[in-house]
Structure 1
C-alpha cells in the first residue's frame, strides 16, 4: 500500500468509474481469433459441479417412485398460474414443445446436441428465438425439480414432462428411460453455424432488444449450398437446423418466402441430419401439431431481450412482452398465431384431416408472420386458448403445407389418414427416438418404463451369454497374437480404428460389437482395409482355435480380441523401448451382426479428417483448418489436452497412419513401431527447421539446419503440437529428461480410457 493511501486515506480509484474488472478488457479470442482453443477440452470440469464426487445418479434415480413423480407432473399440467396462464387450461402442449426442443438440437453428424445434459438451460440455446418462452416452461417445473432434488436431473425431468403431457391428452407413449446427467456450465465447444444471431456475419449483425428476431433470419448463404430442388442443395456439415437459432426449419418456409415445395426440401435435409427418415419426420410433425397452438399476437419489435440479455430483475426470464397482459391471448413466441385443430388438447387425427380436407391460402398473423388459413370460410374453427366464447380460423404453417405438396410426404400422410392406429404407433416410436436418440446403448437406460424391444438406432449388441476369459487365457491369447504374422503397428491401428469411433456426445461407436469388421466401417479408407482384413483374418483364426479348445461355455469375442491385440501391441512397443508395463484389459465385449448395424447412420461416423491417423480427404470442402477438426475429434473422445498430446505422440511412433497421401507424415522416428518419445524430441529440436511445402500450408518438411537434408514430413496436425502455446508446453514436457517413461505410462492410460469408453456395463 502506498504512503499516500496509508496516511491520507485517499480513495485508490481515480476518475469517475472503476476499471480493471475482469472481462471488460479485449479477450484473447478477440486479439487472436484463429488461435486453437485447446482449453475447450477442459469444459465441464469437476470444479463446476456442486455434487459430491461420489454421487451416484443412477442409484438416486432408481430410488425414486416414478409413478409419484408422474402424478405430480400431471397435476401441474392441468393447472394454471397467473404469471403464465396455461392455454386451454393445459400446459401439456407447451411442455411437449419444451421437451421436443431440448431433444431436437441433436444432430447425427457429430452426435452433439440432444436432451442428454439439459443444455436448453444455458446460452446460447436458452436464448435462441426458436426457444422463445420455453424459459417459462422450465420455471413452471421448478417446484417439481425442487421437490425431488438431485435424484431427478433437469434433463430427465424435461423429457419425462413431455411424455406426461402426451399422456394427459390421451396419447399412449412408447416408453421412457432416465439416466441423463445434467451439465453445470454452457457448452462452448459445439459449432452451431457461421451466422450471427440475425443470420448475418457477426460484424454486420444489428443489435436490438429482440435478440434473434425471426424476420432477420434471412441469410442462408453462410450454411447452405445450391438452391432448393437442385441436386447440390445441401447444408454444411455437421449442422442440422436450416438457420441459426432454429431447432429444425423456419415454419414460414425457406428464407421466409412461404414456398411449401422449398420448405419440404429443408425439412427432408434437416430431419435427416437429425437421424429421422421420411416416415418418422411426418409422424413427428403431424403428431406434434395435433396439440396446442402457435403464438403471434404481438409485433416482434416490441418484445424484450432473450434470457441472456434480460435485465437483472427478470431473474433469467426473457422475452418480456409489454402488450396487454404480456401473456395469455397477448402472447408472442414465434410470430405465427393459431391452432391446427378443433381440440388442441386431445390426441386425434384432425391435424391431417384438416390439412387434406381443405384448400389453404397464405395470410399473415397479427405479428406479421406468414401462415395459412382455409379458403372455405365455413371450415371448422378452433377455440381461443383463453377467452370463453371466442373462436378463430384454423391455421397451418408453410412447413405443414409442405407435407401435402411433397409426393413422398403426401403418400405417408395418406397412409396415416387411412390407419390412425398405425399413425399412433409411428408417432410414439418417433417421439421415443427423438427424446432418447442421444443416450447411447440401452445399458445406460434407467427406470421401469424402458421398453424391452431392441431398436436398430440403439446400435444393439448381443448380450454376453458365455464365460469370459481369465488372466491365464489373456496371457496365452496375447502370446498367440504377438506370434502371428501381423505387426505391432497393424494391431494397434485396428484396435484404435475400432475404439476411436466412439463419441462422448451420443455414445455411439466404440470397439464393442466389433463393427469394424462389418460394412460400412470395414471399407473406410482411414481404416486401411487391406491391413484390416489381414489382422481380422489372424484374430478370427485365433478365436476359432480358442473357442474350439474349450470344453465348457468359455469363449472370446472378436471385439475383445481386437482390443486385446492393441493392448499387446502397446506393451510390446513399450518393452522394445525399454519400458515394461501392463496395459489394462477388461473382457466382456460381444460381436454385433450386420442386421444389428444401421449402415445408413453409421456412415456419419466415418472421419473425413482424422488427425490421430494423419488422414485428411482433399476432395472435401472444409470451412475450418485440419487442426480445428482434430481438436473437435479429441473433444468427442473426451480427452484432456495432456491425454490428446500423449496419444498423438504414441500413435505417431507406433506408425498407425492411414495409408493415404499423408502416410509418412508425422512419423518422427527411425524406429517405427517402438513406443519412444521421438515425436516430441524431434518436434522440439532446435537443430531442425520446418519448411512449408504447399501454398495452403497443409504439409511441411523437417530439414536439418546444417546439411539441409529433409529428415521428416509433417502435416498441420503434427506441427500444431509445437506451434500452439499450450500444446507446446506438453510436447516439451514429454521431450525433456524423464519424459519418455512418463509418456509411455500416460499413453497406456489414455489408450485404456479410449478402449473402455463404450463399456457402460462395468
Structure 2
C-alpha cells in the first residue's frame, strides 16, 4: 500500500512540477534530469514509441545467438525436463498468472538495471518491438500479427522499418533463457506491456497463448507505416489492420516516447521533452507548438520553432492537418485520463492482432514492480 502511494506521489510530481526546458513551457509532465534519475531508481521503467528508430549504443546490445535459444513455447504451454529415479522424462507444464507475473517482474528489473540505452531506458524500444511484431497484420488475408515472432528471421528482420530492433530482441534474450517455457511471441508483447506500465502509463490487459512460427510466415515489407507520408497513407496502413480514425490517433500517442536516429530511419530527435514517460504531451505539443521545416541534410521533418530540440514527422503533422484526425487530437490534448483509457484499449487490440485466442483464454492485469 505504501509503495503504491509513493508511486502515485511520484506520478503526480513528474506530471505537475517539471520545469520548462530551454525556455519552452511543455506540458506538466516534462521531466527534469533529477526526476528521471529518481524515476529509474524508484522502480519505474520507461516507454518508447512504435515506429521510430533506435540506435545501438556501445555495449548496449549483446551478441547472443537468439534464434532457437531455449524451448519454444507453443500456445502458452511448454515442457520441463525432470529427474525421476535416474531417468530423464518430460513433464507437462502449463504456466499460470503467477508465472507470467514473474516474467513481467524480470523485464521490469532489467529495465531498472540497464539504463545505458537512449534517455536511460530500453523501455521505448521494447514498445516498438511489440508494435512492429503486431502491426504487420492484414485483416483480409489473416496473415501477420503478433502470433509468430517472425521478425526472428530474414527477410523480416531486415525490413527498413525494423532497423535497430535487434537491440530489443537481445535485451529480452536473457529473460527467454530464464523462462524457456514462454514463446517469443508472448515475450515480445509482454515486454511492451511491461514497458508501458513501468513508464507510468496505464494498465494494459494481457492474454497469453501466442505460438512461434518459422521463416515461412514472414510478412512482406511495406506493411508498417512510412513516417514520411501523409493522412491517406496512414489510413491505408491502419485500415488494413482493422482500426478506425479514432483508434489511429490513440495509437499515435505513443509518440510521446523515444526518439528517431539517423542511423536507422534517417530522421533525428525526440517528439517530447520527457521521452521515457507516457503522457498526452504528444498531442499538446502538436497543437500548442509552432512547427517549421528543419533545415538540414536529412529527410524532411519538422522542428519546434522555439527550441529547435523537438521534431515531428510528416505523418505526425497529418493528425492536425486532417480535420477528422484533429478532432481526436484536441480531445486527448485536453484530457490525459481519456487518452490513457483509449490508448489502453487500442494497444490491447493491436497486440492481439492475428492471435486465435479461445473463449477460455484468461485476461490478466499485471502488478507494477513497485506495487
TM-score (norm 2): 0.71
Q: In the aligned structure 2, how far is the partner of 1:342 from the partner of 1:63?
A: 36
Q: Tell me: CA distance 1:346–1:371, structure 2 relative to 1, closer, same or farther (3 Å).
A: same
User: What's the CA shift for 1:66?
Assistant: 2.2
Q: Tell me: CA distance 1:269–1:80, structure 2 relative to 1, closer, same or farther (3 Å).
A: same
Q: 1:404 pairs with 308, 315, 320, which one?
A: 320
User: What's the CA shift for 1:64?
Assistant: 5.4
**Residues 1:279 and 2:310 aligned together:** no
Could you tell me whether the CA contact under 8 Å between 2:139 and 2:240 is conserved in 1?
yes
**Residues 1:167 and 2:97 aligned together:** no
Matches within 5 A, 1:608-687: none
Q: In the aligned structure 2, how far is the partner of 1:135 from the partner of 1:158?
A: 12
User: What's the CA shift for 1:399?
Assistant: 0.4
Matches within 5 A, 1:506-545: none
Residue 131 of structure 1 corresponds to 162
**Residues 1:77 and 2:111 aligned together:** yes
Q: In the aligned structure 1, how far is the partner of 2:333 from the partner of 2:73?
A: 52
Could you tell me whether the CA contact under 8 Å between 1:290 and 1:340 is conserved in 2?
yes
Q: 1:265 pairs with 232, 244, 247, which one?
A: 232
**Residues 1:249 and 2:225 aligned together:** yes
Q: In the aligned structure 2, how far is the partner of 1:365 from the partner of 1:103?
A: 33
Could you tell me whether the CA contact under 8 Å between 2:133 and 2:149 is conserved in 1?
yes
User: What's the CA shift for 1:421?
Assistant: 1.1
User: What's the CA shift for 1:52?
Assistant: 11
Residue 178 of structure 1 corresponds to 208
**Residues 1:105 and 2:122 aligned together:** no
Q: In the aligned structure 2, how far is the partner of 1:51 from the partner of 1:336?
A: 36
User: What's the CA shift for 1:63?
Assistant: 7.5
Q: 1:415 pairs with 331, 342, 347, which one?
A: 331
Could you tell me whether the CA contact under 8 Å between 2:196 and 2:202 is conserved in 1?
yes
Q: In the aligned structure 2, how far is the partner of 1:99 from the partner of 1:50?
A: 20
Matches within 5 A, 1:107-122: 107-122=138-153
Residue 140 of structure 1 corresponds to 171
Q: Tell me: CA distance 1:416–1:447, structure 2 relative to 1, closer, same or farther (3 Å).
A: closer
Could you tell me whether the CA contact under 8 Å between 1:78 and 1:91 is conserved in 2?
no
Residue 339 of structure 1 corresponds to 270
Residue 498 of structure 1 corresponds to none
User: What's the CA shift for 1:125?
Assistant: 1.1
**Residues 1:92 and 2:123 aligned together:** yes
Deviations along 1:372-416, one digit per CA (max 9) or x if unpaired, are 0123x2x4xxxxxxxxxxxx6111010000001001000111111
Residue 293 of structure 1 corresponds to 259
Residue 370 of structure 1 corresponds to 300
Q: Tell me: CA distance 1:336–1:52, structure 2 relative to 1, closer, same or farther (3 Å).
A: closer
Q: Tell me: CA distance 1:416–1:63, structure 2 relative to 1, closer, same or farther (3 Å).
A: closer
User: What's the CA shift for 1:448?
Assistant: 3.6
Structure 1 stretches of 4+ with a deviation exceeding 6 A read 49-53
Matches within 5 A, 1:207-218: none
Q: Tell me: CA distance 1:417–1:447, structure 2 relative to 1, closer, same or farther (3 Å).
A: closer
Q: In the aligned structure 2, how far is the partner of 1:291 from the partner of 1:374?
A: 17
Q: Tell me: CA distance 1:364–1:428, structure 2 relative to 1, closer, same or farther (3 Å).
A: farther
Q: In the aligned structure 1, how far is the partner of 2:280 from the partner of 2:72?
A: 45
Q: Tell me: CA distance 1:251–1:65, structure 2 relative to 1, closer, same or farther (3 Å).
A: same
Could you tell me whether the CA contact under 8 Å between 1:79 and 1:91 is conserved in 2?
no
Q: In the aligned structure 1, how far is the partner of 2:258 from the partner of 2:247?
A: 20
Could you list the runs of 5+ residues in structure 1 that have no partner in the other structure? 1-48, 193-244, 254-262, 297-331, 380-391, 451-762
Larger RCO, structure (CA 8 Å, separation 6 or more) = 2
Q: 1:438 pairs with 354, 361, 365, which one?
A: 354
TM-score (norm 1): 0.35
Could you tell me whether the CA contact under 8 Å between 1:284 and 1:427 is conserved in 2?
yes
Could you tell me whether the CA contact under 8 Å between 1:416 and 1:422 is conserved in 2?
yes
**Residues 1:66 and 2:97 aligned together:** no
Could you tell me whether the CA contact under 8 Å between 2:77 and 2:182 is conserved in 1?
no
User: What's the CA shift for 1:122?
Assistant: 1.2
Deviations along 1:161-180, one digit per CA (max 9) or x if unpaired, are 00010011101123011101
Does the residue aligned with 1:173 lie in a helix, a strand or coil? coil
User: What's the CA shift for 1:290?
Assistant: 1.1
What RMSD, in angstroms, separates the aligned Cα atoms of the two structures? 2.6
Q: In the aligned structure 2, how far is the partner of 1:339 from the partner of 1:51?
A: 36
Could you tell me whether the CA contact under 8 Å between 1:130 and 1:247 is conserved in 2?
no
Could you tell me whether the CA contact under 8 Å between 1:290 and 1:344 is conserved in 2?
yes
**Residues 1:158 and 2:192 aligned together:** no
Q: 2:291 pairs with 349, 360, 374, which one?
A: 360
Matches within 5 A, 1:691-706: none
Q: In the aligned structure 2, how far is the partner of 1:274 from the partner of 1:152?
A: 26
Q: In the aligned structure 2, how far is the partner of 1:52 from the partner of 1:281?
A: 31
Could you tell me whether the CA contact under 8 Å between 1:61 and 1:178 is conserved in 2?
no
Deviations along 1:533-568, one digit per CA (max 9) or x if unpaired, are xxxxxxxxxxxxxxxxxxxxxxxxxxxxxxxxxxxx
Q: Tell me: CA distance 1:56–1:166, structure 2 relative to 1, closer, same or farther (3 Å).
A: closer
Q: In the aligned structure 2, how far is the partner of 1:51 from the partner of 1:133?
A: 24
Does the residue aligned with 1:96 lie in a helix, a strand or coil? helix
Q: In the aligned structure 1, how far is the partner of 2:108 from the partner of 2:354?
A: 25
Could you tell me whether the CA contact under 8 Å between 2:193 and 2:204 is conserved in 1?
no
Could you list the runs of 5+ residues in structure 2 that have no partner in the other structure? 1-69, 79-91, 367-371
Deviations along 1:244-288, one digit per CA (max 9) or x if unpaired, are x344321122xxxxxxxxx101111210111100010000012x1
User: What's the CA shift for 1:139?
Assistant: 0.8
Q: In the aligned structure 2, how far is the partner of 1:64 from the partner of 1:157?
A: 15
